[in-house]
Structure 1
Amino acid sequence: MIAWGPSEQLRLRSPARLKFDKARQTDMLLLPERVVNLNPTAGAILWLCDGTRSADQIIGELEAKYNQSNLQEDVLEFLTQAIERGWIEKCP
């Protein structure tokens, strides 16, 4: 388990990158060893992991964008899994 907190800024872990596949109309996470087709929720979260936002800010933006509240638990769970999978990392 990697220790991190919701006030820390997150970014994609190099050399991972995001791409929107126009043909499939889906976000894709490009990793050196594979490509991950993302569902719309995962894509929306990862696009916000740009090194300038904390998890708390990402949650706030998603709640405002989708006019929903109480997304914190689900978003934090996804971000934790993404960190453990090596998709994203804490900014130094």
Structure 2
Amino acid sequence: METIDDAWRPRLAPHVRMVFNTARGEYALLSPETVWAINPTGASIVELCDSRRTVGEIVSELRSRYEHVADDDVRHFVAELVTKHGMEIDHG
């Protein structure tokens, strides 16, 4: 798994989009060949991954919204999506 640097700027890969299934009350990331179910925390991370914000800025924003944010969990979530080709990184 790739190590994520706080200066990198993540974004969803062009072929991936996030949707909310109202019938199930679940978020998912859709690509032509894969569906990833994600929880609301994951959706909050994805919403901030717009290639304008750095990973460090994303962690700071999440800390302002939520009481408990584990920096390493955010980095791990982004790294896992990068590894699965669901997210891309601008290396700043």
| TM norm structure 1 | 0.86
| CA deviation vs aligned residue, 1:8-60 (integer Å, no higher than 9, x gap) | 11100111011111111111101110221111221111111111111101101
Q: Which residue matches 1:74? A: 73
Q: Pick closer, same or farther for the CA change 1:3–1:38 going to 2, 3 Å.
A: closer
Does 2:41 match 1:45? no
> Which residue identity is paired with 1:83?
V
3-state SS, counterpart of residue 80 of structure 1 = helix
Structure 2, unaligned runs of 5 or more: none
Identity, % of aligned positions:
31
Any residues of structure 2 matched to 1:1-92 within 5 Å, and which?
1-2=1-2, 4-68=4-68, 71-91=70-90
Q: Verify the 8 A CA contact 2:81 2:87 in the aligned structure 1.
A: yes
The count of aligned residue pairs is 91
Cα RMSD (Å) of the superposition? 1.7
CA distance in 2 between partners of 1:20 and 1:36 (Å): 12
Structure 1, unaligned runs of 5 or more: none
Highest RCO, 1 vs 2 (Cα 8 Å, sep ≥ 6): 2
**Structure 1 stretches of at least 4 aligned residues deviating more than 6 Å after TM superposition:** none
CA distance in 2 between partners of 1:37 and 1:24 (Å): 11
